[in-house]
A and B are shown apart, each in its own frame.
Chain A
Amino acid sequence: MFLEPAYTIDELITRCKVGERKAQELLYKQLASKMLGVCMRYATDRMEAEDMLQNGFIKLFNKLDDYRGDGAFEGWVRRIMVHTAIEYYRKHHKMIQIIDMAEISDEPSVNPAALENMSVKDLMNMIQQLSPGYRMVFNLYAIEGYSHKEIAGIVGITEGASKSQLSRARTILKDRVTKMEDKKYGYAG
C-alpha cells in the first residue's frame, strides 16, 4: 500500500493554518467519517448531515487559528460540528414546533437487554425521526453531556423547555424501542 507521508495531527494543523490544501484534505480525511457520524444524529437524513459536515469543515479551516493546542483537537472539532448543527437547526427549523405523533399516555417501560441489542442503525433511525427540537435537546443532553442550563443558552430556549423536550424525546424513543422489541417477537403491541 502506498502511504501518504505520515504527519502527526499537530503537523497537519500547523500546515493547515498556512492554508496548505493537501494538509487540509488529509485532516479532513482523518476526521470526516467520525464527524459525519456526529452530524447524522442532528439531521433528518444523510443529505442534511453532509450539509452540516461541509459547513462545519469550512468553519473549522477558517477558525483554525483560534485553536491554541489546549485540549484534544478532536473534541474541539466536535464542538464546531455540534455548533454548526445548532446553527443549521436554527436556520431551517426555527418556526417548526411539531407536537410529535400521537400522545403517549403511559411512560413505556424498556427492557435494558432489548435496548442493548438494538443496532446503531436502528437507534439512528429513531433519533432522526424525532422532531428537530426534541432531537436537538436529546443529543445535547444525553449524548454530548450538556446541562439544561447550557442547552438553554446555546439553543435559545428556556431551561424548562429543555427539560420538557428531553422528557418527551425519551418517552418517544422508549415507545419505539418497545414497539420494535414487540415486533421482533411477534407481539401485537
Chain B
Amino acid sequence: MDMQDKEFDKVFKSKFEDFNVGPAPMVWDNIAGELDRKKTKRAIMPWLSIAATILVLLTAGVLFLKQKGDTAVQHGHAAKLVSNNVGHVMTTTPGKVHTAPVIVVQHSNRVASTKAHNAPAGTSPASAVVPENVIVTDNTVKDAEPIKTESHNITQNFVPGKQTQLAAKPLDLEQQPPVAKPVIAAISKQDVAVVKKHGIHSLGGLINVLVAKVDKRQDKLIEFTDNDDDDTESSITGVNLGIIKVKKQ
C-alpha cells in the first residue's frame, strides 16, 4: 500500500507535535551569562561614548591649533592682535606717524588693506600684517588713518628714519600663543553644516566627521562605525595615536 506525500508529511508533523528534549543545565548558564554581559555593556557604553567624545574634541582642538598655528591663525584673532599692536605702535611713536605724509588721508578709523607679502622684507612689519577691513577701535589711535596705498608705496614715501623706527617694533604674530576658545568654537560651527551633508547615522558617524575635519591623515585619530542599525551601537574601528595604530576592518 502506498502513501501520498501529504499523508507522509502529516505523520511526521503529528509525531513531532509533542516532542520534548530536556537541555543540558549548561545551556541556561550560558544564556544567563550572555544576558549579563550585554547588560554590563549597555551600562558602560554611554559613558564610554561620552568620554571618547570629550577626548576626541580635545585632541582635535590641539591638532587643529598645531596645523593652523604656523600660518594665518584666525581672522578675528589676527585682527585683534593687529589692532592692539597697531595701536601700540601708533601711540608710542605719535610724532612720526603724524608727520608721515602719505599715511594720513581722511578722518576714518580704518586701517588699510595691505598684505604681508606685498611689504618688502624688513621695512614695515606693522602694516605688513594688517588684514583687510581691520577696524581699530582703540580711542588712543584716532589719528590712525587709512593707508590707501600698497605697502611698497608706503615704503617709498616713508622717511628712512621713521621706517626703521616702525620696524623696530615688529609684530611677530607667530610668537603669539594661539587662543584656544575661538578656534574650537569655529570648528563646531563649521561642522554642524557638514553633518547634514554626509547623512550621518549615529553618534559614531558624527564623531568621524568631526575628526576628519581636523585630522587629515588617512588613518584618523579615532574612527567609529556608522550604521543606523538600532541593535548595534557605535564601536571604535580604528585608533591612530601616531606611534600606536590600531585598525579594525
Contacts and interface: CB of A to CB of B under 8 A. Distances in A.
Interface in A52-85: 53-54, 57-58, 61-62
Interface string B1-34: 1110101110111011001111110111011101
A60 to B, nearest CB: 9
Contact of A116 (B9, B11, B27): B11
A46 B39 CA distance: 29
Given A111-B1, A112-B1, A170-B5, A57 B21 contact: no
Contacts of B117: none
Nearest to A60: B31
A91 interface: no
Interface string B142-166: 0000000000000000000000000
B196 interface: no
Nearest to B26: A50
B1 A37 contact: no
A7 interface: no
Contacts of A143: 9, 12-13, 16
A155 interface: no
A115 B3 contact: yes
Contacts of B11: 112, 115-116
A120 B19 contact: yes
A36 B23 CA distance: 7
B8 A110 contact: yes
A170 B21 contact: no
Interface residues of B, number: 28
A123 B11 CA distance: 10
B217 interface: no
Interface residues of A, number: 40
Nearest to B5: A170
Contacts of B24: 50
B190 to A, nearest CB: 39
B38 interface: yes
A184 interface: no
Contacts of B31: 28, 54, 57-58, 61
B100 interface: no
A33 B2 contact: no
A25 interface: yes
Contact of A123 (B7, B16, B20, B38): B16
A36 B22 contact: yes
B35 interface: yes
Interface string A158-176: 0000000000001001100
B3 A112 contact: yes
A32 interface: yes
Contact of B28 (A28, A37, A40): A28
A146 to B, nearest CB: 12
A174 B38 contact: no
Given A28-B31, A58-B31, A123-B12, A33 B1 contact: no
Interface of B: 1-3, 5, 7-9, 11-13, 15-16, 19-24, 26-28, 30-32, 34-35, 38-39
Given A54-B30, A124-B19, 18 more contacts: A19-B39, A29-B28, A32-B23, A33-B23, A50-B26, A50-B27, A57-B31, A109-B3, A110-B8, A111-B3, A112-B1, A115-B3, A118-B15, A120-B16, A123-B12, A142-B13, A170-B5, A174-B8
20 contacts: A21-B32, A24-B32, A29-B28, A32-B22, A33-B23, A34-B19, A37-B21, A46-B21, A57-B31, A109-B3, A110-B8, A111-B3, A112-B3, A112-B11, A120-B16, A123-B15, A142-B8, A143-B9, A143-B12, A170-B8
